[in-house]
Amino acid sequence: MRVGFIGLGSQGGPMARRIVEGGFDLTLWARRAASLEPYSDTAAKTAATPAELGAASDLVCLCVVGDDDVRQVLHGDEGVLAGLQPGGIVAIHSTIHPDTCRELAEAAAKQGVTVIDAPVSGGAPAVEEGTLMVMVGGADDVIETVRPVFATYSDAIVHLGGLGAGQVAKILNNLQFTANLGSALSTLELGDALGLERQRLCEVLNRGSATSKAISSITMFGGTVEGLAPIAGGLLQKDVRHAASLAAEAGASEGTVFTVADTALENMDHAR
């Protein structure tokens, strides 16, 4: 299978490397030439435009930031869909609204191209270890077609249902993570008021039964979200907004988890 990859950031970059090192024919595109330089020691080819990348691929993986970024690289005279041939597949690794996935799938279907959603979780270290989580939504046969590519960087490919289901799971995952951040920060502030040294309390929480990914992240950044905010603050805000939209569409209550998540986002805003 010929694979194209767009979005060579801190997570997408290692994913692309795992794909080419896994023996797949890989083509890359990036807005900046400097983003392609790290792959000069691999067999990966480069394309001048997303359309050229699409023409050279059977599967195109997108790991750009948000909804509009995905639209920009897919549409237009130089977009992926201008080059991808009928029978091609687009896998959206970006975390975007499920409605955006369905909108893009409808446009792609007009030229015989299938879209699946495949957001990921775990970060660059998990990619390098081949343990990234991939949450997939789409038709069974398409998922099985792309599974060998995903398996180069993931040992947990979870098929959650039809198109958009992977995005729902990822958005809820990020909502819970954000709420965990808010809960952790509140606990640390209480520890401050009770006279505990924050870094020591972080050590206890990180190794005790209260531990979570949020506690681990806060501990890594010295007991605050100041280091985490520039990396994840904007992305988590986007995903919590998506979660609120999904809750409203489902007629579900925005309960305590949203309140705690909002607290965490406020702290991250201040940190930035």
Express each pLDDT in 105-119 by its tens digit.
999 999 999 999 999
Q: Residues in the chain, how many?
A: 272
Q: Do domains 2-162 and 168-271 have the same CATH topology?
A: no
For the record, the structure tokens of 108 come out as: 């792609």
Please give the CATH number for the structural domain made up of 168-271: 1.10.1040.10
238 is annotated as an active-site residue: no
Whether 11 contacts 63, CB under 8 Å: yes
Whether 2 contacts 58, CB under 8 Å: yes
The residue from 45, 170, 213, 238 that is catalytic is 170
User: What pLDDT score does 253 carry?
Assistant: 82
Express each pLDDT in 124-141 by its tens digit.
899 999 999 999 999 999
Query: Measured on CA atoms in the order 139, 236, 238, 38, is the torsion positive or negative?
Result: negative
pLDDT in tens, the chain (272 residues): 999 999 999 999 999 999 999 999 999 999 999 999 999 999 999 999 999 999 999 999 999 999 999 999 999 999 999 999 999 999 999 999 999 999 999 999 999 999 999 999 998 899 999 999 999 999 999 999 999 999 999 999 999 999 999 999 999 999 999 999 999 999 999 999 999 999 999 999 999 999 999 999 999 988 988 888 888 889 999 999 999 999 999 998 878 899 989 989 998 887 77
pTM: 0.93
Instruction: Report CA dihedral (239, 245, 248, 249) to the nearest 10 degrees.
Output: -120
> What residue ranges do the domains of the chain occupy?
2-162, 168-271
Give which of 78, 71, 59 is closest to 4, Cα–Cα: 59
Cα–Cα dist 104/110, whole Å: 10
Superfamily name and number for 2-162: NAD(P)-binding Rossmann-like Domain (3.40.50.720)
Whether 158 contacts 134, CB under 8 Å: yes
Cα–Cα dist 211/266, whole Å: 22
Secondary structure of 163-190 as H, E, C letters: CCHHHHHHHHHHHHHHHHHHHHHHHHHH
User: What pLDDT score does 210 carry?
Assistant: 93
